[in-house]
Chains A and B, each alone.
Chain A
Amino acid sequence: MTGMPAIRGRAWSPCLTSVKLAIYDTFATTSHAPTVSGIARQLNAAIEDVQSAFDELHKQRLLVPEPGDPTRIRMAPPFSGVETPFRVTVRDKLYYAPCAWDSLGIPAALHADGVIQTTDGHTGEPIMLVVRNGAPVPEPCVIHIAVPAAHWWDDIIYT
């Protein structure tokens, strides 16, 4: 990011856009969460500029830092940086999604078919969802969202 302006509070500077794209590209290509230092190396950018971009992306609700460590990513929806009960396979690559909604968000973001393996939230019965030809194959199931929309980001890790 040499030669690019620092963020300094502006919402969508070239730096912020570059960091956002690098985070999502890393998730998409490796299925793992990048860190501030990893993105800084990738973009040849200053650590403090990338950290500022992480903080801004959190404000914009595009990523959630690991609790207690703002240099790491817990989730950049629809991708999770940690293992979850929502396993999503796309093009032979295994991803984890933070929740049921985001599990479908991964094939939607990657514009690809995919398979979601999860369990009934109460009984633990395995449930497999298939996205084929751009739409989910019908499967008996429902999604329950326990928190109203106005409070989703009060504790997004729980939501």
Chain B
Amino acid sequence: MTSFLAQAQEPMTRAEVLADDPVWLILIKVVALFGFGVLMTLFMINWERKVVARMQHRTGPNRVGPNGWLQSLADGIKLAFAEEIIPTSADRKVYWLAPVISATPAFVAFSVLPFGPQVSMFGEQTYLQLVDLPVGVLVVLAASAVGVYGIILGGWASGSPYPLLGSLRSAAQVISYEIALGLSLFAVVLYAGSLSTGDIVDAQQGGWFALLLLPSFIIFVISMVGETNRAPFDLPEAESELVGGFHTEYSSLKFALFFLAEYVNMVVLSGFAVTLFLGGYMAPWPISAIGDGYFNTGWWPVLWFVAKMLIFLFLYIWLRGTLPRFRYDQFMRLGWKVLIPANLVWIVMIAGVRAINTSTDVTTGQKVIFGAVAILLIVLLSLLIPEKRVEEDSGVPTTGGGYPLPPLDLEVPKLTPRQAALEREQRRRKRAEVGAGASTAGGSSATTTDGTGKEADDGNV
């Protein structure tokens, strides 16, 4: 009873408003979110093809529908009526299950993304968000982690070498970059003081975390691309090495589900990035100042949210159109040896700054000591980084064609004076035997034309 009274007096929190939603409203939101995911996928495939085409001086799809915008829909319908080929070596049950495991969690992650503030939907006050969980951030991480199961089971169940290798790569890649991704969220959670996505958006009213926590933002964006297996980190489906990667043996709608999962994951992580770092659904600065924050109320924020999301989706396309694919060892090195240590140092730094600023009993002198210790630690840590090894090259020098060459500084060994004298004596005797008429001319020619003789003369002088 007392808690009920307290609730009536205070303004209801986001979670309480959402918990009050009637079932029909929840159903509308669920269907809308699902539809949003599918529509964004169809749009994204087309957009990607068009933008990449423009980057390569082509036109891209322009036949189906206005300006070719229905191409991906046509492709999707066509896939449904394509023949399904299951290899004889496949493990049938797991083969069927894998696309389902891949696609389902991708959609679930949508549920915690806040699309807008409190609005009135059909006379019911609610937030434009499905649920506001106290652990919302973890739901997105968990969903992207479960998605790996779909990929690795799909590759394994195909019973074929290329899919197996692709799925193993993918699993190693996703778990490596998930650490970088998770650690980059630490700073955001620290400054928002909550794991709830709604609270994180509210905490950014003073300024976007992308500006305040720039290193975290950069690391997040890099690992976001690695997490979704997109170019330049699309090693699981590197067509030049692995044919198609984990979905080589998939066809028809099962293949379409993998495709859908990949694109929905991109959309979800873009929305997640917007929520965590770009102020979520709130309007960007000059617009937010208009009319005392009018554009931050009602249905307007959906526009800002989708617009910011499209920035990240464009970034995905841009990267794909610009950068060549990484080599696998380079890729793992970037994750384990650059992103994670940088993240750890940054976390300790920011947590320290936060702890010092919030605690009252720290004097300025102590702050200086703390700063000095921190800098000392960073210097010591940087000493631990091993020096770059210079590869020794003592082999036979090769030209561009790769053919071995003999050493170019080859020297003809000089004769000793005694050897030279003996040789001269021998030649003189020979000439004396051949004829006396040529003896004077032959003597001079022996010193000029004969290579070894000339060398010997030089040695004597």
Q: Do A and B come from one complex?
A: no
Hey, which bits of chain B sit against chain A, CB under 8 A? none
